Amino acid sequence: MVAPARPQFVLFGSSIVQLSFGHGGWGAHLSDIYARKADILLRGYYGWNSRRALQVLDQVFPKDAATQPSLVIVYFGGNDSMGPHFSGLGPHVPLHEYIENMRKILIHIQGLSERTRIIVLSCPPVNEEKVRGNTSGVLSELVRTNELCQSYSEACIKLCKELDVKVVDLFNALQKRDDWRNACFTDGIHLAAEGSKIVVKEILNVLKEADWEPCLHWKSLSTEFAEDSPYDLVAADGKTTLNPSEWTFYREIQWD
């Protein structure tokens, strides 16, 4: 453990989580936004479904850990919602089982500590045309449809409301852009930079509006070692220094 201790935010999910530090990803944006405020920890697993998440849940989130996360952002559903393969192999998980798996995951995380908060990302849409065009001699045909994505997204949102867990409706959030099919994805499934910006905006909205104590929005968290120092940059007057601890002008986006 590197000191001093900061709040820990864990990103737990499948490839949309694992890849969130590439392509201008939403995980990278969160790490920048929360620099010197919270540690963003990546626990993303490419290709995983909710079944595999359940298998390692106690290892990723041990209940006897000395430090428990302040926030866990959970995403599973895209792989679960794929159409089933005739062999019985593959990531597909029937909708009813997916919901029960997510219920177990969320209840486990809720039990880590009284101050561990959760945000769930629901299943996003896909660019069906692009997915169909991504043929490969290595993989069997991928059955990814927006009808399936929507049904898993809606069921996930319903579960979160039942458990009083915050949820981001990614299925509809991404489609607010007229050009979402091409702008939001790299391959029709995984998020491009524009898609990730939407994810970050939605997460920050939840954090800003949530009635949580303490508030986990970035503007409410203290900045580590932010005191003024004579070793800061010298101001134009040549007599004082400028503390850069809270500067954000360098960011491409000025997040709210």
**CB-based contact 42:11 (threshold 8 Å):** yes
CA 256/CA 245 separation, integer angstroms: 17
Does a cis peptide bond (omega within 30 degrees of 0) precede residue 62? no
Residues identified as active-site: 14, 187, 190
In a 10 Å sphere around its CB, with 0-12 CB exposed, 13-18 middle and 19+ buried, how is residue 161 labelled? exposed
Query: What's the Cα-to-Cα distance from 46 to each of 43, 53, 139, 157, rounded to whole Å?
Result: 10, 11, 15, 23
Within 7-121, where are the H helices?
15-18, 26-33, 50-60, 95-110
